[in-house]
Structure 1
Amino acid sequence: MEPTAHNQQEASTASSTETAEDLASKLNAAVRNRNKEAVMELLEKGADVNSKAESGWTPLQSAVQADDEYLVQLLLDKGACPHARKDNGGTAFIEAGAGGNKNILKRLLDCGVDINDHDDNGFTAFMEAAWYGKEEALRFLYSKGANVNLRRAVSEEKVKLHKGGATALMDACRERYFSVVKTLVREMGADVNIRDNKDRNALIHALKKACTKETYESAVSIGCFLLECGVDVNSKDECGKTALILAVEMQSPDLVKALLEKGEIDIDDADEEGNTALMVAVEKNYFDIAKLLCEQGARTDVGNLIAVANRNRNRNMADLLRQYNAKFVPETLEDWEPNSKRWRDQLKNLHKMYRPMIGKLKIFQYFQQKIQNTSQGGIYLGLHGETEVAVRISRSTEGDEEKRFFEQCGNCEHLLKLFQFEKAKGYMYLCFPLWEKNLEEYLQEPKDHEDYKGALKMIFQAVRELHSLGFAHQDLHPSNFLIDLGGKIYLADFDNKRRSIEDKKELINSDLEALSRLVLYVLTGGKKPLQQVSAEDLTDDSPDYHEALDLVRCLASHDERGVEGLSKHPYFSSKQEFQFLKGIWNKIKDLPNQNTVFQDFNATERFPYPSWTKEIDKDVLKIMENPKNGRKFKYKNNVNMLLRLMRNLDEHPDSRISDKIGDYAEYFLELFPELTIYVYNSLRRNPKYSHWADL
């Protein structure tokens, strides 16, 4: 439709002296006022078609928001960029999703925009259409390839705050668009059981928002519809409230009844404050719902229900509760302090709140009590009796298999062990000793020193123990190494990636390669992501640098010794290095042909100190060649003679030398840092003397 002549105030005020900023401001204002004549005149005067107003809005985005197809096409024809973003990352196409105009959406799609593009808060055009109930726009976008089950993508910082992760279905449920919900599920296959980053599914979103009289019926209808579609009734909101508790708060007996009829919900489950559905009904004076819950077996021996009913002056409620054996319970506060420092606050909350017990286990399956995410679900804090535990929850069938594996780990020192287990309603609850942090978290902490050798010893032993059980881990990631309060490290496999070794050497080799990266990751303090770290990141100022580098190379090259043999690598025995080197000369000195011991085993790895007599302190060498009570001896530049000098110095100490260089063991190892690994590898690769290569 062509523009008609009317108010041209925006354009007529323009003059030849106006700046580009003036023209841009007036252009944006003209678009927002839908003044087509002013828009055309300002563009002709040179106004920037891609200029930005407050919050980064471009004229095209404003035209889309105004639902003006003519202006949208005009601005596109004049060079408006469809990919330009507002300050929040939104584009004209995402804005068009909120407006729901199919013609505008099509025009922007024809410009090559990504149909699943999202703003900084993770909203796509499809999500915006769902949020605002634009059903026809949803159908159009779906037909063009929009991802129905896309979760809201947000920054890592927002993920840590549990923001994002919602889907279009959750948005439609939240805004109570029943028709849109049905369309998304029935026509487009929306998954009703996806959870956002606060662990809430579509059912929780449908019941979470406060109801008005106008939205109450839609909320109940959506809730019942989702139940028919098999939605998981055990999801909770960010306050730990179940769908049943939210239905009680909505004051919907029909929805409460429908939830209970599913037979999958725990009627006595409580929120983070320990309130059950019955406690909420009593607190809010919802007699009919309280009666329904009592009839369905809700516990009346928690929450001091009689006191609450009396406080509300509701005699009928109190009589109902007494009929179902409720009694006044005096409150007692127990001063309990957990052992864990990391999880102290969550454990104290768990201890004091009411939770329905699973055998001897008290657990709150709620995101603020979750301590680790896995591909199989979360790991939650728990109390088994008074013992602090980490709990893995799985279906009974899978849980039985997991239980059998963890029972095999019972005699292993550094594999995660099973403490106890419970079964209930088709689920297995595997309880493990609680850890404080994982290796990835540990490396990010500030430390007084960076001696990671002890940690690597435990890591190697853990992998060795797993291999001895006949399994390759296949996911040796820092997050799978757990550290308890005493600093002991345990290897876990919550993602079930381990594989039976049998005769598959490639599985062992895969673990060795992963272990080589892990060694580098640890030795560099976790400063780079695991997959990015390399040998070049190691610094040579460490006294164990050459041993560490050799260990990494051995692992990466699938050394035939495996984890078992490499656990005896010189890197792990640095305190015995001097005694090892001295002892080798004691073995060599009685051989008839001493020179055959250190034959070059690799042309690229010759003796690294061919002129060692020039590198050693000249006074030390002079004293050793001219002993007080012995005959003179001239040391030559070969490895045998260097080992002989070190042995003689240790066997016949001289105060003149110790006064000069201090601790002679430290002096020699610092002066000749590659000597140990050279001697070790030379012996190991010499078939005749390989048995000497044992520190």
Structure 2
Amino acid sequence: MESQFSSPYQKPSESYNKEMATQKAEELNNAVRFGSIETVRKLLEEGTDVNSKVKGGWTPLHSAIQKDMGELVQFLLDKGADPHAKKDNGATPFIIAGITGNVSLLKLFLEKGSDINEYDNNGFTAFMEAAWHGKEEALRFLYDNGADVNLGRVTDEEKKALNKGGATALMDAAKQGHVAIVEALVKEMEADVNTCDNWGRNALVHALSVTEPRRWGEGNETIALFLLNNGADVNKKDEHGKTTLILAAERESQRLVEAILERNEVDIDDADRNNKTALMVAVEKTNCEISKVLCEEGARTDIGNLLEIANSNYNTELTELLCKYCKPQNLSQPKTQWTPSSKHWRSKLQDLHGRYRPMIGKLKVFHYQDFRIKRTSQGGVYLGFYDGKEVAVKIFYVGAENAVREKTCLEKCHTSNNLVKLCGWEEQKTCLYVCLSLCEKNLEEYFQMADNTAMESKDVLKTIFLAVKELHSFGFGHQDLHPSNILIDVTGKIFLADFDKSREVAEDNRGDAIISEDLQALGHLVLYVAMKGKVSFEALPMECPEEVDNCMEVEDLRTSLGTPDKNNRVSGQLDRLIYHPYFWDKKTRYRVLRDVGNESDIKTRNTKYHKNTSEILEALNHEGDPFKGWHDQIEKMVWESMGPFRDKVNKKPEKNKQRYEDCVTGLLKLIRDMGEHFDEKDEELKNKIGNPADYFLTHFPNLTLYVYRSLCNTHYNKHFPNAQ
């Protein structure tokens, strides 16, 4: 055989070495899988990497655990195998041990530093794997060692956006039909039967959602009945919008259909995304017993062509049953043209408008992810129609504390201008449906848009301030101010929403604390909006970055919201800060500077001699005056052109007129005088200055804030907007 090398001294190529390493890795992994410890020993002695990987990222250690060979596992660890190595899907040796249910190996890897709740790329923990595969002894061991029973599968944002993840060990055991494990999880380990995955499915839905008919059996039915008896919510749906009643009809379990109906909580006529009700499913499956139960409980028979379906299956018994309960169907009316007001939700609203949905009083809604606006801890927010008007429907459990707070707050604030409107509400079984005016997006979503320049940050914040002030005036604190709770409607108007954590403001110290908490959160919103959402609300910097427009004013406003004002009550703090200089326009800023400069002590007194006898001179010209040297920041001809003035009759300089001092009051005096006499100046100076307001505000952008901070707690604040 011809040598692969041109000479006996030539080194093997890199590709050859890589190929040989791959071959040795496969040999080692195969030896482990066949349990040949001698071959494993020989390959390792020849230098094969004990942590080498084959397809899928399997190491010899992973394979040894899968084969449940404890002796070989220990041998590999002694030879340097990594106890925390991960497969391509992120599974560690500890998680694989959860699949096999080997308690000794689970204990071994915990001793070597494995995290009891570590998870792979799909969010599976060892505890979940033990539940999925029915390994009860391993499940109990992991529980005793601190496994999180109600942990949902953790997934990345991309998977979460597709509603993947969130399933718990209880859901896994229920889906796989492991009765003993489900009972142990609920009765002994206090698993929550109503925790939902990212699709909004609870354990009951998982128990009913077995996809292959051959896998549905007595165990699944027993589990579903057990979960029902332990308080499982019957109003949850699967990813296709099927209710638990529809799923029970699909499984053809009369016991479950009857048990669900006995709860008297589910809408018997609710339909899935294909507009099929439980009765339609039962008829399609030619199940006379379930069809009879549903008909006797009042299921509508005028939805779908039930008789036609029964006749096509030549089922005389079912046809006779339906004839007994069926009502003559009305001829369908021609669909009317309808255009939603909303642009963002238009296609979904049109879809919902054309669907059959059982009415809940005046409300038409489909509790299904295609029509979901937002997730919540209870039932989510969905598109709907209330009395024919498109609305956002927020779903709560009847009597829940947050439901009471939301409804009470909205009802008492119904005359507000800047809070989202309550359009109405309905109750059905265990659910409260709060119907709100529909908006297009929230503030987070707005800033994520490519074109987010339509609204000025100042205008956005001014509206939010007014909304919070309005809420406080109605006697409530919000307690959950966040960009996701600031909504924007189709016209671009901003509203404050989500009052399920609101608190009534009592006339005591706690009332001030509630308002203070809102002001703290409002300070974070100031920074978030000023930065145009470029940093998430949860990761904002400690101070306003210098590159942000009007950063000093933004920082002063933010700090003022979070710092109690010893001169004023906290309940009036927001009233004052709504008129903070950050919100002033150019005209207002210039007018304030001129009016302050027009104070007699500034116009006529010399700071050097009169500071200690003049309140305004002392307030403005304190130590560390940042405007010393202001002459050097503007052209000499500007301030020289303003003095000394000449007597209009004798054309001589007026006596006792001082030049502009090198302090802030000297600058304010110049601004006042320039405003009064600008029209008298020559064209050269006018061309140099242009607009006096633009000129001085550009050269001294922080002067307005300085004057405001110096005079806000003096009677000279009479020059500020909304002076009290």
> Which TM-score applies when normalising by structure 2?
0.87
- Is the deviation greater in 165-174 or in 464-473? 464-473
Counterpart CA distance in 2 for 1:306 and 1:459 is: 57
Counterpart CA distance in 2 for 1:185 and 1:254 is: 22
Please tell me whether the aligned partners of residues 608 and 674 of structure 1 are also in contact (alpha carbons under 8 angstroms). Answer: no
Please tell me whether the aligned partners of residues 122 and 155 of structure 2 are also in contact (alpha carbons under 8 angstroms). Answer: yes
Alpha-carbon shift at residue 615 of structure 1 (Å): 1.6
- Is the deviation greater in 643-652 or in 218-227? 643-652
1:502 to 499, 504, 507: 507
Counterpart CA distance in 1 for 2:503 and 2:160 is: 28
Alignment-mate amino acid for residue 610 of structure 1: K
Q: Partner of 2:585: helix, strand, or coil?
A: helix
Please tell me whether the aligned partners of residues 166 and 195 of structure 1 are also in contact (alpha carbons under 8 angstroms). Answer: yes
Q: 1:130 to 1:87 in 2, by over 3 A?
A: same
**Which digits, 9 at most, give the CA deviation of each residue in 1:278-322, with x for residues without a partner?**
122233333332222111110112234344445555565444333
Correspondence 1:49-88 to 2 at 5 A: 49-88=50-89
- Is the deviation greater in 215-224 or in 653-662? 653-662
Partner of 1:635: 660
Alignment-mate amino acid for residue 371 of structure 1: I
Alpha-carbon shift at residue 426 of structure 1 (Å): 4.9
1:345 to 314, 335, 347: 347
Alignment-mate amino acid for residue 565 of structure 1: R
**Matching of residue 673 in structure 1 with residue 698 in structure 2:** no
Alignment-mate amino acid for residue 661 of structure 2: K
Q: Partner of 1:220: helix, strand, or coil?
A: helix
Partner of 2:14: none
Please tell me whether the aligned partners of residues 170 and 182 of structure 2 are also in contact (alpha carbons under 8 angstroms). Answer: yes
Alpha-carbon shift at residue 240 of structure 1 (Å): 0.7
Show structure 1 runs of 5+ residues with no match: 1-15
**Matching of residue 693 in structure 1 with residue 697 in structure 2:** no
1:478 to 480, 483, 507: 483
Counterpart CA distance in 1 for 2:85 and 2:582 is: 56
Alignment-mate amino acid for residue 437 of structure 1: K
Counterpart CA distance in 2 for 1:570 and 1:214 is: 69
Q: 1:545 to 1:598 in 2, by over 3 A?
A: farther
Counterpart CA distance in 2 for 1:613 and 1:455 is: 37
Alpha-carbon shift at residue 361 of structure 1 (Å): 0.5
Q: 1:422 to 1:262 in 2, by over 3 A?
A: closer
Please tell me whether the aligned partners of residues 409 and 416 of structure 1 are also in contact (alpha carbons under 8 angstroms). Answer: no
Partner of 1:182: 183
**Which digits, 9 at most, give the CA deviation of each residue in 1:245-294, with x for residues without a partner?**
11111222232222222222221111122221112223333333222211
Q: Partner of 2:216: helix, strand, or coil?
A: helix
Alpha-carbon shift at residue 18 of structure 1 (Å): 9.9
Q: 1:494 to 1:371 in 2, by over 3 A?
A: farther
Please tell me whether the aligned partners of residues 602 and 665 of structure 2 are also in contact (alpha carbons under 8 angstroms). Answer: no
Please tell me whether the aligned partners of residues 426 and 434 of structure 2 are also in contact (alpha carbons under 8 angstroms). Answer: yes
Alpha-carbon shift at residue 239 of structure 1 (Å): 0.9
Counterpart CA distance in 2 for 1:306 and 1:677 is: 78
Q: Partner of 1:410: helix, strand, or coil?
A: coil
Please tell me whether the aligned partners of residues 129 and 137 of structure 1 are also in contact (alpha carbons under 8 angstroms). Answer: yes
Alpha-carbon shift at residue 36 of structure 1 (Å): 1.0
Counterpart CA distance in 1 for 2:623 and 2:274 is: 67
Q: Partner of 2:192: helix, strand, or coil?
A: coil
Please tell me whether the aligned partners of residues 376 and 495 of structure 1 are also in contact (alpha carbons under 8 angstroms). Answer: no
Q: 1:662 to 1:447 in 2, by over 3 A?
A: farther
Q: 1:395 to 1:250 in 2, by over 3 A?
A: closer
Please tell me whether the aligned partners of residues 208 and 237 of structure 1 are also in contact (alpha carbons under 8 angstroms). Answer: yes
Q: 1:357 to 1:497 in 2, by over 3 A?
A: same
Please tell me whether the aligned partners of residues 521 and 530 of structure 1 are also in contact (alpha carbons under 8 angstroms). Answer: yes
Alignment-mate amino acid for residue 411 of structure 1: T
Q: Partner of 1:547: helix, strand, or coil?
A: helix
Q: 1:602 to 1:306 in 2, by over 3 A?
A: farther
Counterpart CA distance in 1 for 2:238 and 2:507 is: 45
Partner of 1:423: 427
Partner of 1:577: 589
Correspondence 1:19-418 to 2 at 5 A: 21-213=22-214, 215-310=216-311, 312=313, 314=315, 316-331=317-332, 332-398=334-400, 399=403, 402-418=406-422
**Which digits, 9 at most, give the CA deviation of each residue in 1:96-129, with x for residues without a partner?**
1111222322332332322221111110111112
Alignment-mate amino acid for residue 432 of structure 2: M
1:549 to 544, 555, 564: 555
Alignment-mate amino acid for residue 242 of structure 1: T
Q: Partner of 1:411: helix, strand, or coil?
A: coil
Please tell me whether the aligned partners of residues 347 and 381 of structure 1 are also in contact (alpha carbons under 8 angstroms). Answer: yes
Q: Partner of 1:419: helix, strand, or coil?
A: strand
**Which digits, 9 at most, give the CA deviation of each residue in 1:357-382, with x for residues without a partner?**
11101112223322223345422222
Counterpart CA distance in 2 for 1:484 and 1:232 is: 34
Counterpart CA distance in 2 for 1:496 and 1:536 is: 28
Partner of 2:11: none
- Is the deviation greater in 329-338 or in 584-593? 584-593
Q: 1:597 to 1:616 in 2, by over 3 A?
A: farther
Correspondence 1:497-576 to 2 at 5 A: 497-498=502-503, 500-504=505-509, 505-534=512-541, 536-540=543-547, 542=549, 544-559=550-565, 560=568, 562-575=573-586, 576=588
Alpha-carbon shift at residue 424 of structure 1 (Å): 2.8
- Is the deviation greater in 191-200 or in 343-352? 343-352
Counterpart CA distance in 2 for 1:659 and 1:283 is: 86
Counterpart CA distance in 2 for 1:282 and 1:136 is: 43
Partner of 1:10: none
Counterpart CA distance in 2 for 1:629 and 1:273 is: 92
Q: How many residues align?
A: 679
Q: 1:594 to 1:485 in 2, by over 3 A?
A: farther
Q: 1:278 to 1:215 in 2, by over 3 A?
A: closer
Q: Partner of 1:656: helix, strand, or coil?
A: helix
Partner of 1:436: 440
Please tell me whether the aligned partners of residues 438 and 480 of structure 1 are also in contact (alpha carbons under 8 angstroms). Answer: yes
Alpha-carbon shift at residue 540 of structure 1 (Å): 4.7
Q: 1:334 to 1:20 in 2, by over 3 A?
A: same
Partner of 1:489: 494
Please tell me whether the aligned partners of residues 115 and 146 of structure 1 are also in contact (alpha carbons under 8 angstroms). Answer: yes
Partner of 1:13: none
Counterpart CA distance in 2 for 1:213 and 1:361 is: 39
Alpha-carbon shift at residue 590 of structure 1 (Å): 8.9
Please tell me whether the aligned partners of residues 544 and 554 of structure 2 are also in contact (alpha carbons under 8 angstroms). Answer: no
Alpha-carbon shift at residue 220 of structure 1 (Å): 2.0
Counterpart CA distance in 1 for 2:685 and 2:621 is: 35
Show structure 2 runs of 5+ residues with no match: 1-16, 608-613
Partner of 1:656: 684
Q: Partner of 1:463: helix, strand, or coil?
A: helix
Q: Partner of 1:133: helix, strand, or coil?
A: coil
